[in-house]
């Protein structure tokens, strides 16, 4: 654990996924202190995870009070209960609050937390994706897109990180824009009645895309994991490289469509896939397809790739700071 300055009060923040939960605390909505990672399946409940961390704080940060918590977590609330197929336990907001002794507990959508975090991200953690784009500071509204296990998309509506609009863009219909994409879409439509964006533009989607491109060419795909496809492309495998080029070009087209539809002034790419495919995002197809959607006199909004490992925690902290009176156990405006 890092040594931190003494603080009288802090907000517990957590980023809970299907496998791991990362916890910390924030004194001011910006700094995240004492980050620890827990394996979800080694704990009986969300309350058990939170209590483990609270007990550590009580033993190691004498005099500090933590009464409030904000948890970024995938899913949505149905009444008092969280609906999430990937967690090893059921979550009741009321029971979790009671079991931890917290005064307030807010559950916010995990990708909504990423959007909340954007204003607090240091600009040096942003990597430009368009040639010659200028950094004049954050401009709202900003589109935040995250290809990971699925495809998340949200709008950060202000420069404080207070207001966020979640979208279901990952489940909107995938649009083909050239002959190769039409062939892939026809192939995938034979397997699924609704081919949505994340069916191709996600980690799992990359595998679907790779297999579909092989079928279109009358061949068999050799890779069954996104990591394998990326590694093969980096190693010079032509078929894998084609998959990455098609993936990045298709992603650039979707990002432009969403920016135009939602009126975004900036775009931020986050998510696990974004980091893994960084060399290919900078290679050309993404930029060409993205910029090509903005005919003169329109100027393409800047696009940034985020190199930041704690966006979920940062977003939970920002939410806690900007909604001090709203931590009542609901998703609030971030329901899905």
- Give 224-280 pLDDT, tens digit per residue: 999 999 999 999 999 999 999 999 999 999 999 999 999 999 999 998 899 999 999
At residue 330 the predicted structure's pLDDT band, cuts being 50, 70 and 90, is: very low
Q: What is the largest CA-CA distance in the chain?
A: 67
pTM: 0.88
At residue 153 the predicted structure's pLDDT band, cuts being 50, 70 and 90, is: very high
Please check whether residues 142 and 241 belong to one and the same domain. yes
Q: Say how far apart CA 86 and CA 84 lie, in whole Å.
A: 6
Cα atoms in the Cβ-side hemisphere of radius 13 Å centred on 157? 10
What total number of domains does the chain contain? 2
Please check whether residues 133 and 272 belong to one and the same domain. yes
Please check whether residues 267 and 199 belong to one and the same domain. yes
Please check whether residues 282 and 168 belong to one and the same domain. yes
Percent over 70 (pLDDT), the chain: 94
4 domain-assigned: no
Please check whether residues 171 and 213 belong to one and the same domain. yes
For the stretch 184-226, pLDDT in tens is 999 999 999 999 999 999 999 999 999 999 999 999 988 999 9
Please check whether residues 176 and 210 belong to one and the same domain. yes
Q: Say how far apart CA 29 and CA 317 lie, in whole Å.
A: 5
Residue 324 has pLDDT above 80, yes or no: no
Please check whether residues 271 and 178 belong to one and the same domain. yes
Q: Say how far apart CA 253 and CA 237 lie, in whole Å.
A: 24
Please check whether residues 78 and 146 belong to one and the same domain. no
CATH code of 62's domain: 3.30.420.40
The answer to whether the CB of 104 falls within 8 A of the CB of 69 is yes
User: Containing domain of residue 22, as a range?
Assistant: 9-109+310-334
């Amino acid at each position: 654990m890092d040594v931190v300055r003494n603080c009288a009060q802090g907000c517990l923040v957590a980023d809970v996924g299907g496998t791991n939960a990362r916890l910390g605390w924030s004194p001011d909505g910006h700094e995240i202190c004492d980050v620890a990672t827990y394996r979800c399946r080694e704990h009986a409940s969300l309350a058990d995870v939170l209590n483990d961390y609270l007990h550590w704080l009580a033993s190691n940060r004498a005099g500090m009070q933590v009464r409030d918590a904000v948890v970024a977590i995938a899913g949505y609330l149905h009444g008092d209960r969280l609906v999430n197929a990937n967690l090893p336990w059921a979550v009741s907001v009321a029971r979790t609050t009671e079991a931890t002794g917290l005064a307030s507990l807010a559950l916010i959508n995990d990708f909504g937390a990423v959007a909340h975090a954007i204003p607090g991200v240091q600009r040096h953690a942003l990597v430009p994706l368009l040639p010659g784009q200028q950094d004049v500071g954050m401009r709202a509204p900003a589109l935040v897109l995250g290809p990971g296990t699925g495809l998340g998309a949200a709008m950060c509506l202000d420069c404080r990180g207070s207001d966020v609009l979640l979208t279901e863009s990952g489940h909107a219909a995938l649009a083909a824009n050239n002959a190769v994409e039409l062939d892939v879409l026809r192939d995938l439509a034979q397997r699924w009645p609704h081919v949505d964006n994340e069916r191709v533009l996600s980690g799992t989607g990359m595998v679907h895309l790779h297999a579909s491109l092989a079928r279109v060419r009358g061949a068999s795909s050799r890779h069954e994991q996104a990591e394998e496809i990326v590694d093969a492309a980096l190693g010079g495998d032509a078929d894998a490289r084609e998959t990455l080029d098609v993936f990045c070009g298709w992603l650039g087209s979707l990002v432009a469509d969403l920016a135009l539809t939602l009126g975004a002034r900036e775009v931020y790419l986050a998510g696990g896939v974004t980091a893994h495919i960084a060399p290919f995002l900078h290679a050309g197809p993404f930029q060409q397809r993205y910029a090509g959607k903005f005919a003169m006199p329109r100027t393409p909004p800047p696009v940034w790739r985020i190199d930041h490992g704690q966006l979920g925690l940062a977003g939970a902290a920002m939410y806690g700071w900007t909604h001090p009176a709203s931590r009542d156990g609901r998703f609030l405006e971030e329901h899905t």
